[in-house]
């Protein structure tokens, strides 16, 4: 797993919605021509929502943003994933993502390698942040083992 996946997982954890009714674990506002409900894009599946979130993370890494700029924005480059204009607290968001992933604050993300500190893996994600497909696989697998 690389830090793109780690950041996406931390964003889903911060958002606290899992895939939700919109199949949108990152609470992305818009995505191409997809419909929008209650201010957030509606994806056709949970995996499509995760893929879009990973793509957005990669775009922000490629922009050379720090975690703080990723969430608060950088003038002339990016408006921010969770800007204060939307009643967010982007610096708290950035600190949480840093804590959960082990990624440092203040360092452009495109200058980091792909290896992370184990801090991200030390804390379990809430069930809401785990794709339903993985939960179903675990439940079905446990039922098959029990039946044997």
Which pTM value belongs to this model?
Answer: 0.75
Confidence check: pLDDT of 130 > 70: no
Count Cβ atoms within 10 A of the Cβ of residue 115 and give its class: 0-12 exposed, 13-18 middle, 19 or more buried: exposed
Q: Which pLDDT tens digit goes with each residue over 22-55?
A: 999 999 999 999 999 999 999 999 999 999 999 9
For the chain, the average pLDDT equals 83
> SS3 breakdown of the chain: % helix, strand, coil, rounded to 5?
50, 5, 45
Q: Which pLDDT tens digit goes with each residue over 92-121?
A: 999 999 999 999 999 999 998 754 444 444
Provide the residue ranges of all domains of the chain, joining segments of one domain with +: 3-147
**Which residues share a beta bridge with 37?**
40
């Amino acid at each position: 797993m690389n830090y793109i996946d780690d950041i996406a997982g931390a964003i889903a954890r911060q958002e606290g919605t899992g895939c939700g009714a919109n199949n949108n674990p990152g609470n992305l506002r818009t995505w191409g021509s997809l419909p929008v409900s209650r201010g957030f894009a509606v994806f056709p599946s949970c995996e499509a929502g995760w893929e879009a979130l990973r793509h957005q993370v990669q775009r922000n890494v490629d922009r050379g943003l720090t975690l703080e700029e990723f969430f608060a924005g950088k003038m002339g480059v990016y408006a921010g994933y969770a800007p204060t204009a939307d009643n967010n607290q982007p610096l708290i968001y950035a600190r949480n993502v840093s804590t959960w992933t082990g990624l440092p604050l203040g360092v452009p993300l495109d200058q980091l390698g792909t290896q992370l500190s184990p801090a991200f893996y030390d804390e379990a994600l809430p069930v809401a942040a785990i794709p339903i497909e993985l939960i179903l696989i675990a439940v079905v697998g446990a039922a098959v083992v029990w039946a044997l």
